[in-house]
Amino acid sequence: MGLISGFLVFMILGSPLFSKAEGATHNYLWVVKETNFTKLCNTSTVLTVNDSFPGPEIHANKGDTVFVTVQNDGPYGITIHWHGVRMLRNPWSDGPEYITQCPIKPGGNFTQEINLSTEEGTLWWHAHSDWSRATVHGAIKVFPANGTSYPYDEPDGDQTIVFASWYKSNVMDVLNESLQTGGDPNVSDAYTINGEPGDLYDCSNETMYSLLVETGKTYLLRIINSILNEEMFFAIANHNMTVVGSDGAYVKPFSTDYLFITPGQTMDVLLTANQTASYYYMVLTPFLDTDSSYDNTTSRALIKYSGNYTTPSTIPTPTFPNISDSISAQLFVVRLKSLADAAHPINVPQNITRQIFMTVSVNLFACPNSTGCTVDGDNKLAASLNNNSFLSPSTALLQEYYDNNYNLSHLVGELPNKPPTPFNYTTVANMSAYTEEGRLVITLNYGDEVEIVFQGTNIGATQNHPMHLHGYSFYLVGTGAGDFDNGTDPGRFNLVDPPEVNTIAVPRKGWSAIRFKADNPGVWFMHCHFERHTTWGMSTTVIVKNGATNATSMRPPPSYMPPCS
């Protein structure tokens, strides 16, 4: 049966067999293939979904179920992840390669089931294999459930704004070269706003993205940071934004003249067109308080008011925090707070049954037999959590877990609850930068109330780390500078209205504390959302055991999963 005809049969007959969803069911057919784009005076061949960059959007309501059939017509294996979707009891469609599935091989296809439950707002999807997400990504717009509304006035317009990295070179070549040398990968050549670099880059003036607005109207901007390796500041000249949501959950509204947004995060903001009709720049620039290499360029787009007026000779541009202004970055983070009202309740764990203190570091590996590595002699860059650099498996851990009666002891060990050797984490000057490689995981009992404190260290190239956990939203209950003090810092935790998010910025030489209840059984990836750090091993896998009933246990696998051999 051909793919298209088979997909139509699936649409008519197949969907009810997967899920007994309370909401509506949506079906999409996506084709992953190479497509040519000309940017920066250069034509590049990049991987896309349905020939688009950014990729197609998913539109659904809270509680709906979405089926996406991914046909891989590209040159190498691919997986797709639904970033921020909890996927309750259904890790089989979550997507990270060799964690929940093996890649979809060239010529193959896989139908994934996306179960929307508590999520409402903006999420996104992206490739989760190698660095393919550079150009394989797009928005998931989750509207309020039927019969409900936004907790703010209905906006006059709704527009997705996607930030991305653009490379003139093939991004897989960039990755492979860095793996061969052991060094930092080459940085991107540009940042893009909705696929366009903007007029500060060569050959990019005519294609710059613009958003048309009408005076007096308010627009919901759904902002997604899909950039590979940089956190960003974003601002709009002469306009404040009202932040109303983040990572698929509402927040207490607050007005700001800039956003700080990490790779993996989404922000929902309201923009009111309340200025003199004209042009205004939207500007995207990096935040980097580190010695690591980064793309130090700026992307611009335009706000254009409708109506008759003279195009300005000088277009207003916003002012920004300094590129290394960590105070402005943290001041933005601490303003995020959940609505925590009767219509949007929260449930912050109070009786912690599992505490984990986790160091987050950039490290070194010694290269065997002087094999061409170039970092500080014969070394290569690595990264770790609690001094373990995660060794990626060559088969899907989830399938192994299921096939071996929910046991992975033959493939993995247990990540310690604290660093093997305590030290002064943010001031140490003589701690070894070398780490150990292993396949160590975190195992949780169903119902555990979990607290994880991520601690940045002074080892290696210090910087912020955007940490992301699959299968869960969690509460960011605290964050601060320096070493976490277990005697005093918990007393300052926000347990009343902390933001419910899925990705957080662990500050450079600082800490962030999260809490969640382990109520979603499965095998879930946790990692830094800088691609280079995940590649170097700054990740682990969280295994949440089944509960005592079918309703608190993993679903069985679908009839077909992409083969691993």
pLDDT in tens, 386-428: 999 999 999 999 999 999 999 999 999 999 999 999 999 999 8
Q: Is 199 helix (H, G, I), strand (E, B) or coil?
A: coil
Biggest alpha carbon–alpha carbon distance for the chain: 70
The CA-CA-CA angle for residues 419, 425, 427, to 5°, reads 160
Same domain, 110 and 178: no
Same domain, 457 and 363: yes
Q: What is the mean pLDDT of the chain?
A: 94
Same domain, 51 and 137: yes
Same domain, 537 and 423: yes
Alpha carbon distance, N-terminus to C-terminus of the chain: 23
Q: Could you report the per-residue pLDDT of 43-100, keeping only the tens digit for each?
A: 999 999 999 999 999 999 999 999 999 999 999 999 999 999 999 999 999 999 999 9
Structural contact between residues 420 and 359, judged by C-beta atoms closer than 8 angstroms: no
Q: Could you report the per-residue pLDDT of 122-168, keeping only the tens digit for each?
A: 999 999 999 999 999 999 999 999 999 999 999 999 999 999 999 99
Quick one: pLDDT band at residue 286, thresholds 50, 70, 90?
very high
Q: Which residue has the tokens 């910025």?
A: 505
Q: By percentage, how much of the chain surpasses pLDDT 70?
A: 96
Report the pLDDT value the prediction gives residue 4, as an integer from 0 to 100.
Answer: 47
The CA-CA-CA angle for residues 110, 111, 116, to 5°, reads 140
Structural contact between residues 564 and 135, judged by C-beta atoms closer than 8 angstroms: no
Q: In the listed set 115, 143, 171, which residue is the last one of a domain according to the structure?
A: 143
Report the pLDDT value the prediction gives residue 107, as an integer from 0 to 100.
Answer: 98
Q: Is the dihedral of CA 30, 34, 37, 39 positive or negative?
A: positive
Same domain, 123 and 202: no
Q: In the listed set 304, 334, 364, which residue is the last one of a domain according to the structure?
A: 334
β-partners of residue 32 are 49, 72
Q: Report which of 325, 357, 284, 247 is spatially closest to residue 508, judged by C-alpha positions.
A: 325
- CB within 8 A of 377, min separation 6: which ones? none
- Phi-psi map region of 399: left, alpha, beta (phi>0 left; psi -120 to 50 alpha): alpha
Q: Which residue has the tokens 């920066």?
A: 40
Same domain, 465 and 493: yes
Same domain, 305 and 437: no
- CATH no. for residue 121? 2.60.40.420
Same domain, 379 and 325: no
Strands 440-444 and 449-456: unpaired
Both tokens of residue 488? 């005093």
Q: Could you report the per-residue pLDDT of 232-255, keeping only the tens digit for each?
A: 999 999 999 999 999 999 999 999
Q: By percentage, how much of the chain surpasses pLDDT 90?
A: 90
Same domain, 191 and 262: yes
Q: Could you report the per-residue pLDDT of 70-84, keeping only the tens digit for each?
A: 999 999 999 999 999
pLDDT greater than 80 at residue 19: no
Same domain, 419 and 514: yes
Q: CA-CA distance, 103 to 126, in Å (whole number)?
A: 14
Number of domains in the chain: 3
Q: Is 403 helix (H, G, I), strand (E, B) or coil?
A: helix
Same domain, 432 and 387: yes
Domain around 88: 25-143
In a domain, 513, yes or no: yes
In a domain, 449, yes or no: yes
Same domain, 539 and 436: yes
Quick one: pLDDT band at residue 9, thresholds 50, 70, 90?
very low
